[in-house]
Structure 1
Amino acid sequence: MALRAGPLTGRRGRRIVLDRVEPGPLASGTITALLGANGSGKSTLLRALAGLFPVDGPVWLGPHDLAAMRAPERARYCAYMPQTLPPPIHMQAIETVMVSMRAGGGSGGARFGGDEAIGTALGVLERLGIADLALRFLDELSGGQRQLVGLAQALARSPALLLLDEPLSALDLRHQFEVMAFLRRETETRGMVTVLVLHDLGMALRRADSAVMLHDGRMIGSGPVGDVVTPAVLAAAFGVKARVERSPEGDPMVLVDGVTGS
């Protein structure tokens, strides 16, 4: 199911924070990176797609009108992970994953705490490489570990649309690489539409299929990620002189030589 949204316009008071933004259509089995400077509207757009920020404009996932749905119905199709996770609670990681499954209808009707639900939750933790955290309590985990458990909570619901706000922010370099490789596999295998806010432009170039570049709430670039992360768009979005080069392994990377106007 493809995601089709917009044009979307959103306001905070009298100030327009999303100005006729129209991402997509975003095909199933693909990853789209929301890019831009701080305050450009990335997280606001993600929240709008999740139905958590009021906007004028449509949001369709295949034949489903997400904008017209109440939160419980929308949760059957969409999973959203915020940048700032809720405060840690004294609950085992696997329990929190099963609670998320039940809230989003991802448990397939399995009894909470039953073998089927436990197996599904443990399977997600294993694929993320954090099965060893299953019986640990959230308030005993580091910020990065809790972020990984939060990602497991979202994926265990088997969403058609996965929305992640800076899912790499608390992770070390190895886990950033592993999580993006994991998201690539899960997105393609499940046929999800994955949309995530990223600050690492090199990671976006290597792992995303498409990108949306925002600046002051407006979309200044959209399409295949290599067509969006260009010197001209980076200058407009960030005010920098930048170029895209290749590493010795052939991976694209962004190099910043200075700021514009200097």
Structure 2
Amino acid sequence: MSESLQKRLARFGFESNDDYSFQIRCLLNSPLRGIRCLNLEGEPARHRTAFANALGQALDYPHILYHDFSQKKPPPPEVILPPSRDEAGREEPPIDPFDDLMSKACAFSEGEKTLAIIDQLHEADFREHIRLSRFLDSQQWQIKDASYYANSAYLLLLLISDQPLYHSLQKASYRIWVNRVSQRLVCYRPKDFGLGEEARPIMQQLDELFTQLGMSPTRTQYAHLLHDLSQHVRTREQLELALYAWLEGLERDQLHDPELRPWLDRVINALPSLVGMDDVEILPPLDST
């Protein structure tokens, strides 16, 4: 794969300055002792869901299945089947949505790479943790009297929970912390956005402002800010609005802190170096290497 994982994740909706290629490489090349399982930890938010879906696409998984335990009312099935009855004529209850996903994951994994994303696992009955733990070891999913077998070479299970996993389940999982906002600081240059050296003064002031805010914007976020600064922002209040609009994880209280005003004003004072320039280029994310 010539394109880096970081770039592929960004292409499929998860952009970050942080590079997760080392962890994913270790996971996918770990010795097989059952089903590979990835536990995504992080602050309670949906950024882990975005990472999970982007990862499946970035790794070219043809089958990406998703179940959310916080969704109390399951979505309607694609095909509505008539109620089934047993030999005694008793109507059998429909298959549970989670069991349906796991049976499909087993079936798809027989011949193709399959990613099963299990979200909001903390909302599930604890017995589901135990079932998953047994499944990782046995590669067998049991639904009533029926058994479904997974191909460990093709199936990857991905778990998202806001609370710690059952001990045995965590023991069998590879754990990654996914940051809500980027932690790795990237020093951008004017040419990264198709700009000349005359844009350097305002970018230096922006970098100092980001340091005060404890933020590390992604390439796309930085490009959006430069565009707004060159075309629209003319006052401190407008700068605050632009920052809040584009920087995920930035709290409004941070922007309204009186101690931040000098750094905001320095950015405004440096605006003449940027105003009137051609449009800012939003290019693919930089590699972390």
Tell me if both proteins adopt one fold, taking TM over 0.5 as the criterion.
no
- Provide TM-score, normalisation by structure 1: 0.44
- Provide TM-score, normalisation by structure 2: 0.40
Between Structure 1 and Structure 2, the one with more strand by share is 1
Between Structure 1 and Structure 2, the one with more helix by share is 2
Q: Which has the larger radius of gyration?
A: 2
